[in-house]
A = this chain, B = another copy of it.
Amino acid sequence: MRIAIDAMGGDHAPAEIVKGAVQAAAEWKDTVIVLVGHRERLEPHLDGQMDANLEIRHASEQIGPDEEPVRAVRRKKDSSMVVAGKMVREGEADAMISAGNTGALMTTGLLVVGRIEGIERPGLAPMLPTADNQGMLALDLGANMDAKPEHLLQYALMGSIYRSSVHGIAKPRVGLLNVGTEAAKGNELTKAAYELLEQAPIHFVGNVESRDVLQRACDVLVCDGFAGNILLKAMEGTASMVMGALKEEFTRNWRTKLAAAIMMPGLRGLRAKMDYKEHGGAPLLGVNGLVIKGHGSSDARAVKNAVRQARIALQGQLIRSIKAEISGK
């Protein structure tokens, strides 16, 4: 299999991206890694370590983190991200990975790679942290701000297939993000979606409140992109504030510093638990090829983990399964 990596996207590009790609190529000899980016800027980081299964595809441009997505994708046809997208569309790569501009990557998925027939709106599906470290797949997290009930149904189907084919969960529990657990709760969108989800060929466990996400009330959480963003950032902000306040308490005097030294290993584990970057890249589900969004701050390890994730999804025939499910409707 061939995996294209946008070598110019992310806070630590290209150095860490190249490093992760080199590690992935060394680990999986059956996989060809194609680094897409400016050849002259990539080669110094390679240091002559070109394995037979590591290639460079030159792309003269790159899309910056603050560029307006649609315009950037339309104009920069030779950017590393768009070129990687074209490779997936043309069958030159089986998957693409990028830690670059999220909006631009969603646009690349939509306009360059293209949607799966029957899918109206692709959804971005990161893993949210849970207390037991198992994580919860949530979609949509920001691609589709004004979702319709039918979109939420498609998210449920795609998320369910992803969790069984990539994570091996036999019967993923699908929950609907809502303001209460009773069936009649919610706004017009969730009330209508509830009825569709009840009829769908999934293991629907009903409404899930945002306070129960960390308790892993389900394996796949379905929501519109607006509510999903509010949820994710509220969790991030609260965890980071509590950890910050804790740090302040621990550095107050020599006695609290002693306490901090004792507690350090446990606190590190807690911080890692709350870090959703630990859970790998987020697939953009519903596009006609495997597109994985790495976190903007991805380092070499994160890039290698995204390759691992892509390999599992490809081996599990993820896209083919989604197509079969959707066209079977």
- Please give, as numbers and ranges, the residues of chain B lying within 8 Å of A250 by CB-CB distance: 263
Closest to A259 in B: B259
Q: Quick one: which of B212, B215, B245 contacts A270, CB cutoff 8 A?
A: B245
Is A239's CB within 8 Å of the partner chain B? yes
Q: Do A249 and B230 contact each other (CB < 8 Å), given the known contacts A186-B145, A237-B213?
A: no
Chain B residues with Cβ below 8 Å from A212 are: 237
Contact A230 B234, beta carbon cutoff 8 Å: yes
The 0/1 profile, CB within 8 Å of B marked 1, for residues 211-244 of chain A is 1111100000000111101110111111111111
In contact, B211 and A234 (Cβ under 8 angstroms)? yes
CB pair A242 B243 closer than 8 Å:
yes
Inside 8 A of A269's CB, which chain B residues have their CB? Answer: 249
Q: How far is the CA of A226 from the CA of B215 in the complex (A)?
A: 21
B241 with A131: CB separation less than 8 A: yes
Flag whether A274 is at the interface (Cβ < 8 A).
yes
Q: Does A90 contact B (CB under 8 A)?
A: no
Instruction: Count residues of chain A with CB under 8 A from any CB of chain B.
Output: 54
- Residues on B with C-beta less than 8 A from A146 are 187-188
Q: Which residue of B lies closest to A265 (CB)?
A: B249
Are B249 and A259 closer than 8 Å at their CB atoms?
A: no
Chain B residue at minimal CB-CB distance from A68:
B184
Q: Is the CB of B270 within 8 A of A266?
A: no
User: Chain B contacts of A52 at CB under 8 A?
Assistant: none
- Shortest A117–chain B CB gap in Å is 26
CB-CB under 8 A from A214, the residues of chain B are 237-238, 241
Interface residues of A in 24-43 (CB under 8 A from B): none
| A198 contacts B by Cβ under 8 Å | no
Contact with B along A254-295 (1 / 0, CB 8 A): 011011101100110110011000000000000000000000
CA distance A263 to B259 in the complex (A): 7
Tell whether A266 pairs with B273 under 8 Å between CB atoms, given A179-B226, A210-B234, A213-B234. no
Pairs of residues from A and B, 7 with the lowest C-beta to C-beta distance, nearest first:
A211-B237, A249-B266, A259-B259, A234-B234, A211-B233, A210-B234, A238-B238
Interchain Cβ contacts under 8 Å between A and B, 9 examples = A179-B226, A186-B226, A190-B226, A234-B235, A238-B239, A242-B274, A249-B263, A249-B267, A258-B262
